[in-house]
Structure 1
Amino acid sequence: MVGFPGFGGFLRERDALAVEDMDRPDCEPGRLNRSYARFHLVNAVVSGWKGTYASHIRPLLTTSESATVLDIGCGGGDIARNLARRAAKDGFRLEITAIDPDERAFQFASSAPPVEGVTFRQALSSQLVSEGLRFDIVISNHVLHHLTPQQLDALLGDTEQLCGRLALHNDLKRSRIAYALFWAAFWPLGFGSYIHSDGLTSIKRSYTTAELQAAAPPSWTVERSGSWHNILVYRVREAPDV
Structure 2
Amino acid sequence: MVTPRLLGVAERMEQPDLRPAELERALEALARVNRSFGGTWSVLRHLERLCAALPAPVSVLDVGTGCADIPRAIVRRARRRGRPVQLTALDRHVGTLRLAERACAAYPEIVLREGDALALPFSSGSFDVVLASQLLHHMEGAEPVRLLRELVRVARRGVVVHDLRRGAWPHFATWAALRVVSRDPVTRHDGPLSIRRGFVPMELLALAGEAGWTGPQVARHAFFHLVLTEGAP
Q: Normalised by the size of structure 1, how large is the TM-score?
A: 0.84
Share of identical aligned residues, percent? Answer: 26
Q: Which residue in 2 is equivalent to 1:201?
A: 193
Q: State which of 15, 28, 45 in structure 1 corresponds to 2:6.
A: 15
Matched residue SS, 1:149: coil
Residues 38 and 223, structure 2, Cα contact 8 Å, conserved in 1? no
The answer on 1:120 being equivalent to 2:112 is yes
Query: Where do residues 147-158 of structure 1 align in structure 2 (5 Å cutoff)?
Result: 147-158=139-150
The answer on 1:233 being equivalent to 2:229 is yes
- Worse-superposed segment, 142-151 or 173-182: 173-182
Residues 15 and 205, structure 1, Cα contact 8 Å, conserved in 2? yes
Q: Which residue in 2 is equivalent to 1:223?
A: 219
Q: How many residues of Structure 1 are paired with residues of Structure 2 in the alignment?
A: 227
CA RMSD of aligned residues (A): 2.4
In structure 1, list runs of 5 or more residues that go unmatched. 1-8, 238-242
State how far apart, in whole Å, the 1-side matches of 2:227 and 2:46 are. 12
Q: Deviations over 1:195-231 (max 9, x none)?
A: 1101111111111112222222252332223341111
- What letter matches 1:128 in structure 2? P
Q: Deviations over 1:62-82 (max 9, x none)?
A: 696210000000011101101
Q: Deviations over 1:125-164 (max 9, x none)?
A: 42423x4561001011100000013221211111121001
Q: Which residue in 1 is equivalent to 2:41?
A: 50
Q: Which residue in 2 is equivalent to 1:171?
A: 163
Matched residue SS, 2:157: strand
Q: Which residue in 2 is equivalent to 1:71?
A: 62
State how far apart, in whole Å, the 2-side matches of 1:138 and 1:55 are. 11
The answer on 1:32 being equivalent to 2:23 is yes
- What letter matches 1:154 in structure 2? R
Q: Deviations over 1:39-93 (max 9, x none)?
A: 2211012344325424542562469621000000001110110111012111211
Q: Deviations over 1:166-185 (max 9, x none)?
A: 10000011122222222112
- What letter matches 2:222 in structure 1? G
State how far apart, in whole Å, the 2-side matches of 1:31 and 1:189 are. 18
Residues 68 and 135, structure 1, Cα contact 8 Å, conserved in 2? yes
In structure 2, list runs of 5 or more residues that go unmatched. none
Q: State which of 70, 87, 90 in structure 1 corresponds to 2:78.
A: 87
Pair member with larger Rg: 1
- What letter matches 1:233 in structure 2? T
Residues 190 and 197, structure 1, Cα contact 8 Å, conserved in 2? no
Q: Normalised by the size of structure 2, how large is the TM-score?
A: 0.87
- 1:192 is displaced (CA, Å) by 4.3
Matched residue SS, 2:218: strand
- Worse-superposed segment, 17-26 or 59-68: 59-68
